[in-house]
Chain A
Amino acid sequence: MISGYFIHLLILIGIYFILAISLQLAVGFAGLLNLGHIAFFCIGAYTSALLALNNFPFWLCFLLAGIVAMLFGFLLSIPTSKLKGDYLALATMGFSFVIYAVALNWTSLTRGPLGLPGIPKPTLFGISFSDNFSFLILIAIIALISYLIVKKITTSPFGKVLEAVRDDELATKVLGKNTFKIKTYALGISAFFAGIAGSLYAHYITFIDPSSFTLLQLIPVLCIVIIGGLASLKGTILATIILVLLPEPLRFIGFPSSIVGPARQMIYALILLLILLYKPKGFYGKVELE
């Protein structure tokens, strides 16, 4: 009985986790303040949904979601490679607006505001993952594999080059490294994982429309990356669990109905603020950005 509720929360943790480590790769490790990250999530979700609704097998929808998102990541790197800090943030934010506008207006492809209903639950190797528990197993496996891949990347020498680009791009160039190529890879891989998170989201919620992919949706993910600590995968795990679970106990406190919505939101915001005041670099943050 209660398991349904809990399993749903664990599934959310899984999806947010993949989304968060993908953002962590770009922001925490490569120092690319990509405020357009939700666009990759959106592209992944729509790609997977559209393919699935046209009867493509799930594994293909899933992989293509990641690959198409990754291609957009590579593309985004081209105009933004010379931009730094605030300008990069603004440009990438602009990108997410563009993708949102496309989702909303290219109605012949995306059905615009009507969204895509009836996205089928995944089927792999003949097993249907339609019930909650099996979906949770699927997400857990994918989240684990994603974590392992990102961990391998970040602890390898390539990961150190990413951090070098973050700390001082010019110095990295002067050591003979092609930073444009490195940043492109960073955005692309980050986009890939955001894309597959999008695919999992679409197949879980079974209905997507543009309203799920606005800049607002980036805020919890950014919070997780910052509160977990920049460039810390361990911190990201912890922060995801805490940020997803935090609003739930508040449901059980009976506020008078007139203020129940805003009251819970305010308490949640307050707790986040307290965490940041106590630990400005996040739980495991060791990175100071200049």
Chain B
Amino acid sequence: MLKCVNLKKYFGGIKAVDGCSFEVKENTITALIGPNGSGKTTIFNLISGILKTDSGKIYFKINSDYLEITNLAPEKISNLGISRLFQQSRLFSNLTVKENLLLALDNEDTKFWKNLLGFNKINKEKEEKIKEMLNLVGMEKFEDKLVRELSYGQKRLIELVRTILNPHKFLMLDEPVAGVNPKLREKIEEILLKLKNQGETILLIEHDMNFTLKVSDWVIVMEKGKVIAEGKPEEIKTNPKVLDAYLGE
């Protein structure tokens, strides 16, 4: 569904991404792993359009064709169906949980005149969808709480929900379970597997090996800006190159 071809991104003398190519197959959960500084988040930023590539191309499958999406603006990428979860919390801290989620549902809210004249009402359908998702993560009571007042773990959950509510065909999750307690971790695992069963495609970055190996269908390993190995989780677990990369860090 997503193809990256020979991506390169340098920051001055640092080669953050140095000729990286891989493919994410439809309806899989693919994990992107590697030691710190191997370029994983940079790849995510390149795909999201937040950083510009120095060279290389990115392709995304729409309907049955591949469209080149290299260096498109972030909002365009999002509207093509790629929804992104960030590593650090990027919720709107002065808004409520409900407001944060409503913003993800559609882009009717950017139409100034439509809103001014009152033609963009929050209908029942939207409210139910939000309640449904909040229920899923056990946070129905938090609908009207200000995001500022939530704990770290609660924020991560809401952010995940927001990412999912954003209309998408492809999910990019950057460390969805980092710093989250084990019970919650299981819940998120459930959610991801459920999404896959509903036909979704997910690309995730994670440091938690157990979680990653449990949940993924395919694992891509990066080191120093390049892909050094990829394969099924069991293979990767015992791959000597991979063990080397992690031990060497």
A and B touch in the complex (CB under 8 A): yes
Binding site for B on A (CB under 8 A): 149, 152-153, 156-161, 163-164, 166-168, 170-179, 181-182, 185, 189, 231, 286-288, 290
Cross-chain contact B75 with A179 (CB below 8 angstroms): yes
Question: Could you show 28 A-B contacts with beta carbons less than 8 Å apart?
Answer: A153-B112, A156-B120, A157-B108, A157-B122, A158-B111, A158-B116, A160-B95, A160-B109, A161-B110, A164-B92, A167-B91, A168-B93, A170-B74, A170-B90, A171-B90, A171-B91, A173-B74, A174-B50, A175-B103, A176-B78, A176-B166, A177-B75, A178-B75, A179-B75, A181-B110, A182-B110, A287-B94, A290-B93
In the complex, chain A residues whose CB is within 8 Å of the CB of B74: 170, 173-174
Of the listed residues A153, A173, A231, the one surrounded by the most CB atoms of chain B closer than 10 A to its CB is: A173
Interface residues of B in 23-58 (CB under 8 A from A): 48, 50
CA distance A168 to B75 in the complex (A): 14
- Asked if B115 is an interface residue, CB under 8 A from chain A, the answer is yes
In the complex, given contacts A153-B115, A157-B120, A177-B75, what are 19 additional A-B residue pairs having Cβ atoms less than 8 angstroms apart? A152-B118, A156-B109, A157-B108, A157-B115, A161-B103, A163-B92, A167-B95, A168-B93, A170-B50, A171-B90, A171-B91, A172-B103, A173-B73, A173-B75, A175-B103, A177-B107, A181-B110, A231-B94, A287-B94
Query: DSSP class of A's interface residues: helix, strand, loop or mixed?
Result: helix
- Asked if B104 is an interface residue, CB under 8 A from chain A, the answer is yes
- Asked if B86 is an interface residue, CB under 8 A from chain A, the answer is yes
- Fill in one digit per residue for B73-102: 1 if any A CB lies within 8 Å of its CB, else 0: 111001100001010001111110001001
CA distance A163 to B162 in the complex (A): 16
CA distance A57 to B247 in the complex (A): 80
In the complex, chain A residues whose CB is within 8 Å of the CB of B111: 158
Interface residues of B in 52-77 (CB under 8 A from A): 73-75
Cross-chain contact B107 with A168 (CB below 8 angstroms): no
In the complex, chain B residues whose CB is within 8 Å of the CB of A172: 92, 103
CA distance A45 to B118 in the complex (A): 31
Q: How large is the interface on B (under 10, 10 to 19, 20 to 34, 35 or more residues)?
A: 20 to 34
| A167 in contact with B48 given A156-B120, A158-B110 (CB within 8 Å) | no
In the complex, chain B residues whose CB is within 8 Å of the CB of A177: 75, 103, 107, 109-110
CA distance A149 to B113 in the complex (A): 12
How far does the Cβ of A226 sit from chain B's closest Cβ, in whole Å? 16
- Asked if B148 is an interface residue, CB under 8 A from chain A, the answer is yes
CA distance A224 to B74 in the complex (A): 36
CA distance A175 to B74 in the complex (A): 8
Cross-chain contact A152 with B94 (CB below 8 angstroms): no
Cross-chain contact A158 with B112 (CB below 8 angstroms): yes
Cross-chain contact A175 with B166 (CB below 8 angstroms): yes
- Fill in one digit per residue for B102-135: 1 if any A CB lies within 8 Å of its CB, else 0: 1110011111100110101010000000000000
In the complex, chain A residues whose CB is within 8 Å of the CB of B94: 163, 166-167, 231, 286-288
Cross-chain contact A153 with B107 (CB below 8 angstroms): no
CA distance A116 to B74 in the complex (A): 48
In the complex, chain B residues whose CB is within 8 Å of the CB of A164: 92, 95, 103
How far does the Cβ of B102 sit from chain A's closest Cβ, in whole Å? 7
Of the listed residues A156, A166, A189, A288, the one surrounded by the most CB atoms of chain B closer than 10 A to its CB is: A156
Of the listed residues A163, A164, A166, A288, the one surrounded by the most CB atoms of chain B closer than 10 A to its CB is: A164
Cross-chain contact A157 with B78 (CB below 8 angstroms): no
In the complex, chain A residues whose CB is within 8 Å of the CB of B93: 167-168, 288, 290
CA distance A161 to B120 in the complex (A): 13
Cross-chain contact B50 with A175 (CB below 8 angstroms): no
CA distance A152 to B121 in the complex (A): 12
CA distance A166 to B99 in the complex (A): 14
CA distance A149 to B118 in the complex (A): 11
Cross-chain contact A173 with B78 (CB below 8 angstroms): yes
Cross-chain contact B103 with A160 (CB below 8 angstroms): yes
| A167 in contact with B92 given A157-B102, A157-B108, A158-B112 (CB within 8 Å) | yes
7 nearest A-B pairs in the assembled complex, by CB-CB distance: A157-B109, A176-B78, A158-B115, A171-B90, A167-B92, A156-B115, A173-B74
